[in-house]
Amino acid sequence: MTNLNRIGLTWISFFSYALTGALVIVTGMVMGDIAKDFGVPVSSMSNTFTFLNAGILAAVFLNAWLMVIVPLKRQLIFGFVLMVLAVAGLMMSHDLRMFSLCMFVLGVVSGITMSIGTFLITHLYEGRQRGSRLLFTDSFFSMAGTLFPILAGVLLAKHLPWYWVYAAIGGLYVAIFVLTLRLEFPVLSKPAAQKDQPKEKWGLGVLFLAIAALCYVLGQLGFISWVPEYAKTQGMNIDDAGKLVSNFWTAYMIGMWVFSYLLRFFDMQRIVMVLAAVSTLLMFWFVSSTEVTMLHWIIMLLGFFSSAIYTTIITLGSLQTRVSSPKLVNFILTCGTVGTMLTFIVTAPIVDAGGPHAALYTANGLYATVFVMCVLVGFVTRHRQHSKIAH
């Protein structure tokens, strides 16, 4: 494989994470306008975004097998066709069922593309380089969270229809499509069956970490999805609300880079426990603060200190067995993705009953649960003994 081809495939991975980040994170920005357009309450409208999250979950889960059957290049080309159809459906149809279908299709496209992007990084890079590339790839999710809420705020402030936000997000897939046509992709072969290999027990720590992953993602997305609506109740306009979300993801991205360096000097279980505790307190400060000017500073601190939690949970999970198990890592990742799917299933009834402020308090409770799980992991974790064996 030429170096130019490798660089091109790496950029497909970057754009795939940005695409997923943009689709998930702009939800809170556009939800109010979409609800008004369809003439339904915001809490009811949020339920339709579950189709987006369900599409992502289904695609991530199924593509582990599909990648062996359907060539990666063909999948990405087909994904471009689906993206065009979904965006066109959002623009031309004013039917809630069609909207839900288009959201599901966008989720499927996003999930397939992100799973391919993850595979490409793990296939193209080895050792420490793989870890740093994965971290940098994941930061494109946060970059999208920085840029697209601002873009959405600008478009909506100019009174443009909400579906132009999704057309702009589709521009990311145009870049993926152009690169796909010009590049050669690795060919996957079916793995040989491994018989008579002893199965290693995962242990109770994996269960605690899986619960922590689910609660963290559900808490984070439940919080950030309803922050724009909460900001409106505090007298902010849509542009200021977009900046609030953007500040969170900017600080999150910076925190990801900083902690990728600092984590090597601390015990993983102890640092994730501290970060979960600090994040829980910061979120409580945000939801209970009455000073609007302070919200921007608090949400930046929250983004910074919470940035390393999910990655550390997954890494800690991979060290619960003597040899890092792909199935174990995939199990924790799947639990996190379930948290994504549950975001509006859980929060919409809460918002309907108590408003967006109640959803933020719920997210705060979920972060507290993450802290409790990280404390419990400390009593049963095997990562220290397996780290010694590895060295």
What pLDDT digit, counting tens, does each position of 26-75 carry? 887 788 888 888 888 877 777 788 888 889 888 877 876 787 788 889 99
Confirm whether 1-185 and 200-391 share one CATH topology: yes
What pLDDT digit, counting tens, does each position of 220-253 carry? 999 998 998 898 888 888 778 878 888 998 899 8
Q: Is the pLDDT of residue 388 over 70?
A: no
pLDDT value at residue 154 = 86
What pLDDT digit, counting tens, does each position of 62-113 carry? 876 787 788 889 999 999 999 999 999 999 988 888 999 999 999 999 988 9
Average pLDDT estimate for 271-290: 94
What pLDDT digit, counting tens, does each position of 117-172 carry? 877 876 787 644 655 676 677 778 878 877 888 888 888 888 888 999 999 999 99
Sequence spans of domains, the chain? 1-185, 200-391
What pLDDT digit, counting tens, does each position of 320-357 carry? 776 655 567 667 777 888 888 888 889 989 998 999 99
In CATH, the architecture of 1-185 is Up-down Bundle (1.20)
CA proximity to 37, closest of 85, 99, 102, 101: 99
Distance from C-alpha of 385 to C-alpha of 217, rounded to nearest angstrom: 28
The whole-chain average pLDDT of the chain stands at: 84
200-391 belongs to CATH 1.20.1250.20: yes
Residue 374 buriedness (CB in 10 A; 0-12 / 13-18 / 19+): buried
Average pLDDT estimate for 311-328: 71
